[in-house]
């Protein structure tokens, strides 16, 4: 089994926008509900 870190495939962007699509962001993921070491 290969382990991949989120930081290997995602870019952390700490800025906020009310409309990501209008800002040119095609894909985004909210991580506020993910628990460390618990990614089923």
Give the list of residues 6+ apart from residue 25 with CB closer than 8 angstroms, or none. 17
pLDDT of residue 40: 65
pLDDT for 22 equals 92
The pLDDT of residue 28 is above 70: yes
- What DSSP designation does 18 have? S
Query: Is 2 a residue whose pLDDT tops 80?
Result: yes
CA distance 13 to 11: 6
11-27 tens-digit pLDDT: 777 888 888 889 888 88
CA distance 15 to 25: 12
pTM for the whole structure = 0.39
Q: Is the pLDDT of residue 7 over 70?
A: yes
Per-domain residue ranges for the chain? Answer: 1-33
CB 23 within 8 A of CB 17: yes
């Amino acid at each position: 089994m290969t382990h991949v870190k989120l930081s290997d495939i995602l870019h952390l962007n700490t800025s906020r926008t009310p409309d990501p699509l209008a800002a040119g962001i095609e894909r985004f993921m909210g991580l506020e509900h993910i628990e460390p070491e618990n990614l089923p």
